[in-house]
Structure 1
Amino acid sequence: MSDATETSGPMLAADGRPLKASLNRALRRQKLRALMLIAPLLIFILVAFIAPIADMLFRSVENGIVEETLPRTVEAMDEWDADAEPVPGEEVYFALFRDMFVASEKKIHTRLGSRLNYETTGISSIFRQSGREVEDIAEIYEDQFDDLNENWTEEIFWAELMGDPDWFAEASATEDGPGPDFVLKEGMEDRLPLTTEAYLAFAEFTQTEDEDNPASENVWPLVHAMLYHDLTGDAAIDGYTGFGSEELQAAKEAVAEFEAVNYKQAFLDIDEDWGSADVMQTIKVYSPTYTPGYFLTAVDLQLNPEGVEAQPDDQAIYLKLFWRTVWMSLTITVATILLGYPVAFLLANLPMRVSSLLMILVLLPFWTSLLVRTSAWKVLLQQQGVINDVLVWSGLINEAGRLVMINNQLGTIIAMTHILLPFMILPLYSVMATIPPSFVRAAKSLGATNVTAFRRVYFPQSVPGIGAGSILVFILAIGYYITPALVGGTTGIFISNRIAYHISSSLNWGLAAALGTILLAAVLILYWAYDRIVGIDNVKLG
């Protein structure tokens, strides 16, 4: 007899396909349907949770503003040895002049000044002042070219000199708007490299930012300054016979008599701090695209040209705030356990009618604005408030001994304990409600006292509720900033208040992101430690 499996082949489905292939196809369809069902939730998590965290992590190390605003200066500083020469030479200031002119026209130099001011106080004002006066340096060359030939101040002359003939014909015929995109004349970049670079920046800015036509707008004085340096350098115009060749040849012969600018001295005339080693080295240290500077500042360190150093004592505040935040959050968590456990126990063991009425009282704070509740505590806790008045009236304290319970850590702990107490009671109650009363009765019937029955039988079963409430309260507490800002004063604020300050007031988003990242890491570490000690699987909400 022959083996039937050799002739029968694979099992087939009803549609004639192999059964295995049909089964795999059905499983793929099932997985696809399941993915489509969870896709909205997945997209929401990515957009509302993962993306903001990723952006925060990126902002905590991103530092591209220096290189983007001062590209030539950063490149020139690569050759500068700060140890051998505390202040850079003329070539760095020449690059700084070109970058600062373009940045001031785009009005982005103040943003860079604000960024560097986080590291060295006073740089912001230096950049603002230099942005206003750097054009005067370039106008020294513009005036001299104007005296040589009026064509050098005519926008149409510059457009025909630098632009492609086809572009110029179309641009000169355009009456309104930016006109066609600027096209450089062939070979001009080799003849006048610095001038070409400056004119391209002018044309791009004119068309994109001002939405005007380069052929009808006055050329930047920077272009004249760069033309001077091309003509006194290696400008290859001897064989050029196109438009403007006569003017270029005449200018090349005349520039030897022009007044030249010492850029280093020009910047020192604007502000003597441009000769400060601290200012120039700060620019060099923070020129890379990515920097650890924000994280170092967040742990009371600073990045200097010499390396990493500790912050001065009067500026070392962040580690203190971190420890204060963790300590006060733990204190608030313990306080909510001590206050919430008896309430939850009472709710779980009273008759349903009574417990439901009391549960409404527990939920009542959720129906009241957080700002109203916090403001109410300000009224209660202040030295002339209700609590102090009652204590004075009862004779427990005298008028001169009124308690200070507001604008300090005590005020923050009291107000936040009240606000977060329901978040502890609800998980506790939901777990306690599932504990059968017969367990405690059985323990008592075997001879256990009330205390022993509670300690050995009831309490261990309520630990999952304590764990769930503790995690919930602690995570909420560590990120609170409204209540500490209103009742904490200077000693009762959290690190979250400092993060909010850097986001909304100082606009130091990089430092705020670094502080937020460290806070997130601390919470994850504490969560991991809790899982190792208690076990996250034992946490239940009932």
Structure 2
Amino acid sequence: MSNATTGPDNLTGVTPDTGLKVGQSDETGPVLAADGTSLKSSLNRALRKQKMRALLLIAPLLFFILVTFIYPIGEMLFRSVENQIVGETLPRTVVELADWDADVTDVPGAPVFSALTKDLMVAVEEKNHTRLGSRLNYELSGVSSLFRKSGRGVDDFGEVYTDQFVALDPAWEDPATFIDIFAGERWLTENAAYDGEGPRPRFRLAPGVDDVLPETARMYADFARVVQVEDDDNPVEEEPWNAVYLALYEELSAGAVIPADFPQAALLNQAQAAVATFDTEDLRAQFVEIDEDWADREVWRIIQGYSAPYTAGYFLNAVDLQQTPDGVAWRPENQQIYITLFIRTMIMSTAITLACIMLGYPVAWLMANLPARQANLLMILVLLPFWTSLLVRTSAWKVMLQREGVINDLFVWIGIVADDNRLALINNATGTIIAMTHILLPFMILPLYSVMKTIPVSYTRAAKSLGATNWTAFWRVYFPQSVPGIGAGSILVFILAIGYYITPEIVGGTKGVFISNRIAYHISSSLNWGLAAALGAILLVIVLALYWAYDRIVGIDNVKLGG
């Protein structure tokens, strides 16, 4: 016989029933779950586990979208304000140029040209000077060639100081002298043990050397880094650039204090005593000799104005504005194209959407009301264009729309137009609207058809039985129920239209291209990714604003794809 409390017919501990009874036995206490914890806490824990399981199920897809979609778009949009190339390529010049006032002097002083010499020497070895020139050329035409020409001659700048140091003591020509002064013991050990496998050990300055000769140490560190990374050579075996001797001359002339225990202190003190008699070099004159634009105040204004790591210049250009010394101003009238393109894109996309509604609605209604066999055949015809390349379809329209094309020939044959007065249907807005309406028409028909298929035929029959005419039954009963399909198709067609660039590029000429064509041009041809990103960001904001307005006026919940 089983025990009354521990037998097989009885459970020990707290069960759901007993737990609930325990909770109810104390009217003032909380309701407890089976494990003795608060019922509310237990339910919250169960809900958290359920949400975590759901999150884990969608985590792979979420990660995929984040990596392949969100991050690339964010990275591209960041380029619309990113402007770090100026400060990274000309760090010394930017610092020296910060105090220059263009209203006081036409061009900066000697320290700026000295800093430019050092920065440009590094940039040329790293091949960054052409990228910098291309960036600034967006703001001022001719700057790109200015940096290219200067890059070819900057190697010789400062050579007069190199020759005089070597003439003073041949030790200055020996790379070991500079290694002794600037190289750290840790790097020397690692470099001596380097066996040629993998990257060379990163150059490190000796402790304290940048306190005594800060600019020379910085310049030599740049030299050593470039020699290692760009040339894959050993700084121990390479004579420093002329820019290193230039920096050393400037710091010794400025009265740098050389401690007695500093490496090569005697050699440095000897040089410091002699630099007062050195011949000097007019770096400004040398830059101007290479290209007179270095004496142009506007060049320096552009460098100074775009030296910050972030800029609104791309967005200003995207709306036909520019940054001037007097503030933001309109670009010259012959350069104002982007606002026109934005307006044209909106107008033509709206026209294409309306054309798709007018052409697609009757086709969708016919498909929804025909017997299944005929409706399926018509559906195949609607989907048939998807089986042909977009480029082929667009090229076909280019052939058909020409003055001597099929459509004009047909109009002449019928007698609608005279042979000497053929219609201009290509390389203009008309050609773009015709071709894109044909291409985007299926995207309007399919949502309309899916919604119309769900509308019972008995509704219109009932309206007619109550005395309504065919038009009244359609307009008062059938059409309102098809509006969600019109909304879905319109959003789909409009958003696709404003982003198209292949069709307008082929059939639009100069009067039928969209803003997307300029974005594609800056991405693939001019390589002005910052302006392309700014144009794309503005287009995205416009689309989101229109979407918000549509939701406020119509209601996005009313948009349906069927069902």
TM-score, normalised with respect to structure 2:
0.91
Query: How far off its partner does 1:39 sit?
Result: 1.4
Paired residues of 1:172 and 1:215 also in contact (CA < 8 A): no
Give 2:70's aligned amino acid. Answer: I
Partner of 1:26: 46
Q: Partners of 2:537 and 2:37 in 1: how far apart?
A: 54
- Residue number among 182, 185, 188 corresponding to 2:206 in the alignment: 185
1:198 matched residue in structure 2:
219
Aligned residue in 2 for 1:289: 309
In 2, Cα distance between equivalents of 1:212 and 1:146: 23
- CA displacement, residues 176-218 of structure 1 (integer Å, 9 cap, x when unaligned): 4765433323332233222111111112222233333211222
Separation in structure 2 between the aligned mates of residue 138 and residue 377 of structure 1, nearest angstrom: 63
- Matched position secondary structure for 1:302: strand
Range with bigger deviation, 353-362 or 217-226: 217-226
Give 1:246 deviation, angstroms.
Answer: 3.4
CA contact (8 A) 2:125 2:230 kept: no
Quote the offset at 1:292 in angstroms.
0.9
| Cα gap change, 1:424 to 1:183, in 2 (>3 Å) | closer
- Distance in 1, matches of 2:557 and 2:41, equals 40
* Counterpart residue number, 1:247: 267
Structure-1 residue corresponding to 2:412:
392
What's the offset of the Cα at 1:15? 4.5
Q: Are 2:503 and 1:483 equivalent residues in the alignment?
A: yes
Matched, 1:75 2:89: no
Counterpart secondary structure, 1:308: strand
1:90-489 alignment runs, 5 A limit: 90-165=110-185, 167-168=187-188, 171=191, 176=196, 179-237=200-258, 239-241=259-261, 243-489=263-509
**Alpha-carbon distance change, 165 to 16 in structure 1, aligned in 2, over 3 angstroms:** closer
SS in structure 1 of the partner of residue 365 of structure 2:
helix
Name the SS for the 1:413 alignment partner.
helix
> Quick one: which amino acid aligns to residue 267 of structure 1?
F
Deviation at 1:8, TM superposition (A): 10
Alpha carbons 1:87, 1:275 under 8 Å: kept: yes
Closer, same or farther in 2 for the Cα pair 1:169/1:243, shift >3 Å?
Answer: farther
Deviation at residue 25 of structure 1 after TM alignment = 2.6
64, 77, 80: which one aligns with 1:44? 64
Structure 1's 521 and 147: CA in aligned 2 closer, same or farther, altered over 3 A? same
Which residue of structure 1 lines up, in the alignment, with residue 15 of structure 2?
Answer: none
CA distance in 1, matches of 2:379, 2:226: 65
Question: How far apart, CA to CA, are the structure 1 residues paired with 2:168 and 2:77?
Answer: 56
Aligned residue for 1:401, secondary structure, equals: coil
Residue deviations 1:9-66 (CA, integer Å, cap 9, x gap): 6555444555444333322211111111121232233233332332233211111111
| Preserved contact between residue 117 and residue 243 of structure 2 (Cα < 8 Å) | no
SS in 2 for 1:309: strand
Structure 2: distance between partners of 1:250 and 1:226: 17
Shift of 1:173: 6.5
Q: Secondary structure at the match of 1:303?
A: strand
CA 1:348 to 1:261, structure 2 compared with 1: closer, same or farther past 3 Å?
A: same
1:538, distance to aligned residue in structure 2 (A): 1.1
- The 1:346–1:156 alpha-carbon spacing in structure 2 relative to 1, beyond 3 Å, is same
Return closer, same or farther for 1:186/1:351 CA change in 2, 3 Å cut-off.
Answer: closer
8 Å contact from structure 1 (residues 195, 227) kept in 2 = yes
SS in 2 for 1:435: coil
Mean CA deviation greater in 178-187 or 43-52: 178-187
Supply the distance in 1 between the matched residues of 2:135 and 2:517 (Cα, whole angstroms). 21
1:218 partner SS: coil
Q: 1:154 deviation in Å?
A: 1.8
Give the C-alpha shift of residue 290 in structure 1.
1.1
Judging changes above 3 Å, is the alpha-carbon distance between structure 1 residues 250 and 446 closer, same or farther for their aligned structure 2 residues?
Answer: same
Identity %: 62
When structure 1 is superposed on structure 2, of 380-389 and 363-372 the one drifting more is 380-389
| Distance (Å, rounded) in 2 between the aligned partners of 1:169 and 1:39 | 48
- Distance, in Å, in 2 between the alignment partners of 1:38 and 1:303 is 46
Give 1:138 shift: 2.2
* Structure 1 alignment gaps of length 5 or more: none
Q: What pairs up with 1:498-537 in 2 under 5 angstroms? A: 498-537=518-557
Count matched residues. 539
Aligned partner letter, 2:266: E
Letter of the 2:229 partner, please give it.
T
After superposition, the C-alpha distances for 1:427-486 in whole angstroms (9 at most, x for unaligned) are 111111111111111111111111111111111111111111111100000100011111
Distance 2:24 2:527 in 1: 79
CA change 1:22–1:241 in 2 (3 A) is closer
SS in 1 for 2:322: strand
Q: Distance in 2 between matches of 1:8 and 1:467?
A: 57
Kindly provide the CA deviation profile for residues 500-528 of structure 1, in whole angstroms up to 9, marking residues without a partner as x.
00011111111101100110111111111
- The TM-score normalised by the length of structure 1 is 0.95
Q: What is the distance in 1 between the residues matched to 2:24 and 2:189?
A: 87
Aligned equivalent of 2:517: 497
When structure 1 is superposed on structure 2, of 335-344 and 20-29 the one drifting more is: 20-29
Unpaired segments of 5 or more residues in structure 2?
1-22
User: How big is each residue's C-alpha offset from its partner over 1:300-339, in whole Å with a ceiling of 9 and x where there is no partner?
Assistant: 1001121101010110000000000000000000000010
Q: Identify which of 70, 86, 91 aligns with 1:66.
A: 86
Q: Label 1:4 to 1:53 Cα distance change in 2 as closer, same or farther (>3 A).
A: closer
Using the alignment, how far apart are the partners of 2:92 and 2:28 within structure 1?
78
Q: Aligned-residue CA RMSD in angstroms?
A: 2.1
SS in 2 for 1:88: coil
2:559 maps to a residue whose letter is: V
Provide the C-alpha distance between the structure 2 equivalents of 1:295 and 1:173, rounded to a whole number of angstroms.
52
Asked if the contact 1:190–1:236 (Cα under 8 Å) also holds between the matched residues in 2, the reply is no
Distance 1:397 1:179, change over 3 A: closer
Change (3 A) 1:4 1:133: closer
Tell which deviates more after alignment, 139-148 or 417-426: 139-148
**Aligned 8 A contact 1:160 1:168 in 2:** no
Distance across 1 between alignment mates of 2:408 and 2:187: 82
Letter in 1 for 2:223: F
